[in-house]
């Protein structure tokens, strides 16, 4: 590795978005990483407080060129952009943690379908690791000595859905599933859009993406891997909630056979008992219980009346759903304590 | 009827709650009804602005005794209270519009199960009419000359769910349904509760009632009636949204046979084309599009990928989900134009 | 007048903004006016629900040309645009109710200073009436038979500030005043702006316009007229509040001589006792108490500790601060009952 | 001191309120302090997640008795309660950091007036230090070796107001001041109150405390100390904003002599240039820029039109306005780096 003992030199490309801001907020307090470069289109040599007033005290600036000798680069870019940029970074020996979708799907054929672009480097898809440490920790750790180091950090809805359902998928219990998900507006990014103005969002709730949200592709991919078998298409419906941060995924599951609460409890305990960032809780969680933290909180419930299983998972879409999870995976790849820089407790109320 | 030509004298019992406030707001501008009595426990002779500052200009007061000669009484009471009070009102020849659940269920056996009380007058359950004019208009109109006039005004979640699903139920298309519903906080009433404080609700979303929300009983009853056959148990999950008004019911339906969008469009057009308060819309509706009005807005969507049907219905829980719908039914019972007092357009943004 | 008995034909130019939507919402239920034309730049022949989904049931469309024979036109345009358009409309004999600032200031010299444009028709400024019926009712009524009929409808902040302070100004009591005002976001209009995205506004409050908000010009003009003497410059500071509708003006007044509460009460009673839309209240009002209505609610308080007078005024910026007030003035100009079309009670909670 | 090298043993009394929760959130990550005891009335032996679900991962419990050998105790209690408890704690040699008002005022005569109780130990008022490190750092540091160690941590509004105005007070520039302050609801505490229900607070703003907010007493005390001379009574008006955290103090100052912007900039630079937690900024700050952090952000502006000076200060009422500031003072008293445990950057959006 290019880094010297004690400090890892990292860059962030796409630093002015919400995800970029969270990366700065967290990495600026990371005990081992040091942010040495920020990039953003059209923002050369701009103090960070122009785009992120709350981060003024970091004294960081958006710069132009990436310096040499970086250990890792975090990418927060629109889909398609990372795929174009990554090969060059790989050639420089830099580890990539991509917060976008360009390396999440293992099949190149899925990109035209879900993202409307032909993937320029299908050969890299197999070498990228889907950066969900709770499911792929060993693969991430194995990147440490790999020539090509690409972490495809999961989508926010995907993280909530996959972590909620993986224990059931592994146990072969999913016959059919409806994921009815709710998100705060920061998941839609920072660009000014008429429908995201305060006056339109506040005191209102609506569903969107009824023709199929892109995260469905990675959810189905990962649940199929967890199940070891093809699952029926997932019915996934996202909603926009009048709040800034937070995702709640309500997963309504018909099971392949009758189950009881005790079995469900055991499955989740086995899956997550040792996980630093997953909390299995005894009552329906509120998104506010995890705000600002890298925690994922999950509740599983068997309804004797309907025979169905309900799984409710919550996270902060900008932390465990984006920047925090990317740092968690970065920590694993570089052999650091997995919670480095992610120790902050949730902010409530 | 006790009323004289031109004006109907109405009373409101339970006037200090949110539902009571909405009744006053709307009835104070009703062209035919006149509010002549307001009652609320422990609030005798109190100006209305003590409980409802926004209604000061009505000059109304909470009073003690109900005057004689009322044409109708609206009840906004906790469950169990109306059942105790109604027989006496019936004896006085007053029409009852009950916003609570005490006369919604046709089977007395359901009350201990869902509401934890034995119904004191099971004989009246058959004579009450479930006050959803879009489904039971003729029955409501027939009350006009009945000896016992009880309108059991539907619950807020129930209205959204039933109106969303009735066209599919009638067509025998529902194989299985998940209703994932979202509500603003006013549905929880006005009593101070720690979990309803602003600091707890804002910037957060959570599910509740995972053990079975009471409105399930009336939803299943009405969809069974619409279908003419027993349906499987409905998987109903309510959520608390950081907003004050509004319900969105997302109904995920597996159908008994393959359908196409055109058939769905035709079913909804047939069901609701002539309805004054139902708007079938071409894209997912936001709750804000109906705030303050008696409108129900619904969108139906066939997903070719999953084969499922999604129905999204929105309403204002205090208007079409409570006070407005009660007035709509009152209008039908008394032979008034159905939209009397309910002409207000939605308030947006 | 061009109108025939019973109905006044009105048009709205600038119909797609928030102010335009409110005009439609209210005029569509006005007992005498009929909306016969809607215009908006670049939106020819578009159903109204494209811009205002909540108004779909009106069945109105944005059109191209204004029809002949209109009685009145409401203008909701950026500053400078109305000044260019009005002369032609005047020539057609149409009454103008301008919701923008182009005819609010009596001195043409103020336009370059506050609005950065030279007024093209200074001769019309004297003939326009500042459309605050509580202060200029007789002048508005006198427009009825005037050749040039221009109502300059006041700004939202200006309405709240002027109505709060006029009784004190008339009594010669204002030595010095700080107006610290708070507004919901709808006052900033509907155009998508980064700083008005939900994620930026929610859970935050900030002041703006520290170099002088434009409404200062009309506030000082009207208070000077009310006082009959030049007042010192007003210290006016606006804030953006995380809510959609509502303005609260907190007016901190040093008086020219010591006063007592009883004198203040009498002044406000005299000023507003007979006003249909002004409510003098005994405790600090919340903006929610007037939402959706044309009410202005005001509280006056003498603080014996500091010797100062505090006046707190609240209104709905889109109703009494814009569309409602414009309709109120329209009613006066056309000799209609002043509350025509404005009878709606506030919507709370 | 009772503590051993490397770790300070601290307790929190009143742990279940919002201030108590913030103390736990921050102290649980403090590099030197260790929370060894939590107390709260009627909550003996209850896991912390019952009252603070977001803090479950700390594994802490509410206990009964305070253990011996504590170095410091943080008190988050209703006024009057700390005054009764402190003498006994002092006798045990424990340092007290009191987040309530019982030791903030130096004159015992002020307690009956502002807090309606007779202070039981006036002799301690002189020995307590008002815990605003930016003004009283040396006095706090001097407590280290004092027999009686009481830090009276300032109120949230008081912190915002005093830090905003101290540079002007010291320079003798304050002729007269209006402080128009805005706060999120968490400042009102956690107890369930009807007027703090979400449905009442959301989409609304209102002033309160028009008869004099209690924080006026400490604001006047501290500004008088800073000015070295008696100031006229401050006109302080608080508002409730529909948000959870944050205070904005808008301070409208008439100066004793004409000033210019450059002089103001120099005064604030001198006062705060070396302060770790104070950021002097060039444009009006939003409360969201400091959420979750111990930062105070301030903007000073001279208005040439009115001749007045405007100072806008923002902070998070639960951090710099309560728990964070208490920890900052604790750090000073114990000779720790002042930012220990307070390094978190603000959370935005």
Beta bridge partners of A345: none
b/e burial code for range D187-200 (CB count within 10 A of at least 16 → b): bbebeeeeebbbbb
Tell me if A160 sits within 8 A of B232, measured CB to CB: no
What's the pLDDT score for residue D156? 98
Contacts of D178 (CB under 8 A, 6+ apart): C178, C180, C252, D234, D235, D237, D251, D252
The DSSP line for B277-324 is SEEE-SSPPBGGGSTTSS-EEEEEEE-TTT--EEEEEEE-TTIIIIIH
Q: Could you tell me the two tokens for C201? A: 């506004």
Contacts of A233 in chain B (CB under 8 A): 305-307
Q: What pLDDT, on the 0 to 100 scale, is given for residue A4?
A: 47
The predicted pLDDT at position A2 comes to 42
Q: Rounded to an integer, what distance in angstroms lies between the CA atom of residue B287 and that of residue D229? A: 57
Instruction: Tell me the pLDDT band of A104, cut-offs 50, 70 and 90.
Output: very high
Q: D285 and A53 in contact by Cβ < 8 A?
A: yes
Provide, as residue numbers in chain D, all residues whose Cβ is less than 8 Å from the Cβ of A55. 345-346
Q: First and final CA of chain B: distance in angstroms?
A: 42
Closest approach of D243 to chain C, Cα-based (Å): 5
Interface of A with C in 14-43 (CB under 8 A): 18
Q: For residue C346, give how far its alpha carbon lies from the nearest alpha carbon of chain D (Å).
A: 13
Percent of chain A with pLDDT over 70: 99
Cα–Cα distances in Å, from C262 out to B236, C266, C300, C315?
Answer: 58, 6, 10, 25
Q: pLDDT, tens digit, for every residue of B276-316?
A: 999 999 999 999 999 999 999 999 999 999 999 999 999 99
Q: Considering chain C, what percentage of its residues have pLDDT values greater than 90?
A: 95
What does the alpha-carbon distance between residue C176 and residue A98 come to, in Å, rounded to a whole number? 59
β-bridge partners, C298:
C280, C313
pLDDT digit string, tens, across residues C273-298: 999 999 999 999 999 999 999 999 99
The sign of the CA dihedral C332, C337, C338, C344 is negative
The span from the CA of A227 to the CA of A246, in Å, is 27
**How far is it, in rounded angstroms, from Cα D147 to Cα A109?**
75
Q: CB distance D292–A347 less than 8 Å?
A: yes
Q: What is the DSSP string of C265-286?
A: HHHHHHHHTT-SSEEE-SSPPB
Tell me the two tokens of residue C207. Answer: 């002041």
Q: Is the dihedral of CA A125, A127, A132, A136 positive or negative?
A: positive
What pLDDT, on a 0 to 100 scale, did the predictor assign at position A64? Answer: 79
Consecutive H or E run containing B51: helix B48-51
Task: State the pLDDT at residue C44.
Answer: 83
The reply to whether the predicted model has a pTM over 0.90 is: yes
In tens, the pLDDT along D292-329 reads 999 999 999 999 999 999 999 999 999 999 999 999 99
What's the complex ipTM?
0.96
- CA–CA separation, D63 vs D39, rounded Å? 6
* CA separation for the pair D72, D19 (Å, rounded): 16
Maximum Cα–Cα distance across chain D: 62
- Please report the DSSP string for B121-177 in residue order: -HHHHTTSEE--HHHHHHHHHHGGG-SS-EEEPPPHHHHHHHHHHHHHHHTT-EEEE
Strands C129-130 and C309-315 turn out to be unpaired
**Residue A43, pLDDT score:** 87
> When comparing pLDDT for D4 and A303, which is higher?
A303
Q: Pick from A54, A279, A349: which is nearest to D346 by CB?
A: A54
B2: pLDDT strictly greater than 60: no
Q: What are the phi and psi torsion angles at D136 (to 5°)? A: -130, 40
Which pLDDT score, from 0 to 100, does residue B5 have? 55
Q: What mean pLDDT is predicted for residues B75-98? A: 95
**pLDDT value of residue B42:** 85
Summarize the confidence of residues C167-191 as an average pLDDT.
96
**What is the DSSP code (8-state) at residue B194?**
G
The closest of C212, B60, B188 to D306, measured between CA atoms, is C212
Residues B161, B168: Cα–Cα separation, whole Å: 12
What would the pLDDT profile of D138-192 be if each residue is shown by its tens digit? 999 999 999 999 999 999 999 999 999 999 999 999 999 999 999 999 999 999 9
**Confidence band for C1, pLDDT divided at 50, 70 and 90:** very low
* Distance from chain centroid for Cα D235: 20
Cis geometry, peptide bond prior to residue A319 (ω within 30 degrees of 0)? no
B202 in D contact zone (CB under 8 Å): yes
**CA-to-CA distance for C222 and C139, rounded, in angstroms?**
14
Interface of D with A in 95-154 (CB under 8 A): none
**Distance in angstroms (rounded) separating the CA atoms of residues B144 and D336:** 80
Encoded tokens for C68: 């002949």
pLDDT of residue A44: 83
Q: Is C196 an interface residue toward D (CB < 8 Å)? A: no
Give residue-wise pLDDT tens across range D208-228: 999 989 999 999 999 999 999
Q: Is A68 exposed, middle or buried (0-12, 13-18, 19+ CB in 10 A)?
A: exposed
* Secondary structure letter of residue A319 according to DSSP: I
Instruction: Please report all neighbours of B, defined by 3+ CB atom pairs within 8 A.
Output: A, C, D
Element (H, E) at C112: helix C110-115
Contact A312, A249 (CB under 8 A): yes
CB-CB neighbours of D75 under 10 Å: 28
Residue D4: band (very low, low, confident or very high) from pLDDT cuts 50, 70, 90:
very low
Backbone angles phi, psi at A236, to 5 degrees: -115, 125
CB B193 within 8 A of CB B208: no
Does residue C4 have a pLDDT over 90? Answer: no
CB neighbours of residue B225 within 10 Å? 17
How many whole angstroms from its chain centre is CA C258? 32
User: Is the CB of residue A23 less than 8 Å from the CB of residue A326?
Assistant: yes
User: Which of the residues A179, A202, A206 would you substitute to probe the B interface, choosing the one with the greatest number of B C-beta atoms within 10 Å?
Assistant: A206
**Contact partners, residue B140, CB within 8 Å, separation at least 6:** B129, B131, B133, B151, B329, B332, B333
Contact residues for B111 (Cβ-Cβ < 8 A; gap 6+)? B105, B117, B118, B119
Cβ–Cβ below 8 Å for B201 and D198: yes
Tokens of residue D160, six digits: 């915002």
Note the pLDDT of residue D5. Answer: 54
* Minimal-distance CA residue of chain D relative to C289: D204
Containing H/E element for A220?
helix A215-227
Our CA-based measurement puts residue A347 at a distance from the nearest CA of chain D, in whole angstroms, of: 7
Q: Residue A235 and residue B339: Cα distance in Å, rounded?
A: 38
Give the residues across from B35 on adjacent strands.
Answer: B10
Put simply, the answer to whether C201 touches A203 (Cβ < 8 Å) is no
Whole-number pLDDT of residue B44: 83
| D25-47 per-position pLDDT tens digit | 999 999 999 999 999 988 888 99
For residue C176, pLDDT over 90 is answered with yes
- Residues 6 or more apart whose Cβ sits within 8 Å of residue C313: C160, C161, C163, C164, C248, C249, C251, C285, C296, C297, C298, C299
- Asked whether the predicted pLDDT for residue B203 surpasses 50, the reply is yes
The reply to whether omega before D349 is within 30° of 0 (cis) is: yes
C251 is catalytic: no
Q: How far apart are CA B223 and CA C103, in angstroms?
A: 59
Question: Is the backbone peptide bond immediately before C319 cis, with ω within 30 degrees of 0?
Answer: no
Q: Which residues neighbour D269 within 8 Å (Cβ) at sequence distance 6 or greater?
A: D280
Chain C residues within an 8 Å CB radius of A199: 18, 184-186, 190, 196, 244
């Amino acid at each position: 590795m290019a880094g010297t003992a004690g400090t890892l030199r990292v860059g962030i490309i796409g630093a002015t978005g919400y995800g970029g801001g969270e990366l700065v907020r967290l990495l600026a307090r990371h005990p081992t990483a040091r942010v040495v470069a920020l990039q953003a289109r059209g923002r050369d040599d701009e103090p960070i407080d122009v785009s992120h007033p709350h981060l003024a005290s970091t004294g960081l600036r958006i710069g132009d060129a990436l310096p040499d000798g970086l250990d890792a680069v975090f990418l927060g870019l629109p889909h398609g952009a990372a795929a174009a940029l990554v090969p060059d970074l790989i050639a420089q020996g830099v580890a990539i943690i991509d917060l976008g979708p360009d390396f999440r799907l293992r099949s190149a054929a899925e990109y035209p379908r879900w993202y409307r672009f032909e993937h320029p480097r299908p050969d890299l898809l197999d070498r990228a690791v889907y950066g969900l440490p709770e499911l792929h920790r060993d693969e991430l750790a194995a990147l440490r000595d790999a020539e090509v180091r690409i972490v495809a950090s999961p989508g926010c809805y995907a993280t909530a859905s996959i972590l909620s359902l993986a224990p059931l998928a592994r146990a072969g219990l999913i016959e059919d599933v409806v994921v009815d998900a709710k998100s705060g507006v920061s998941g839609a990014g920072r660009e000014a859009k008429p429908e995201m103005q305060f006056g339109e969002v506040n005191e209102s709730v609506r569903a969107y993406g009824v023709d199929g949200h892109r995260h469905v592709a990675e959810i189905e991919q990962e649940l199929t891997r967890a199940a070891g078998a093809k699952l029926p298409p997932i019915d996934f419906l996202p909603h926009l909630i009048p709040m800034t941060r937070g995702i709640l995924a309500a997963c309504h599951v018909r099971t392949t056979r009758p189950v009881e609460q005790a079995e469900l409890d055991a499955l989740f305990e086995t899956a997550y008992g040792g996980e630093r960032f997953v909390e299995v809780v005894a009552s329906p969680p509120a998104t506010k219980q995890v705000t600002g933290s890298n925690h994922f909180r999950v509740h599983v419930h068997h309804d004797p009346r309907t025979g169905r299983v309900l799984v409710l998972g919550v996270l902060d879409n900008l932390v465990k759903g984006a920047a925090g999870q990317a740092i968690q995976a970065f920590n694993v790849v570089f052999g650091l304590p997995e919670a480095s820089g992610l120790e902050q407790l949730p902010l409530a109320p």
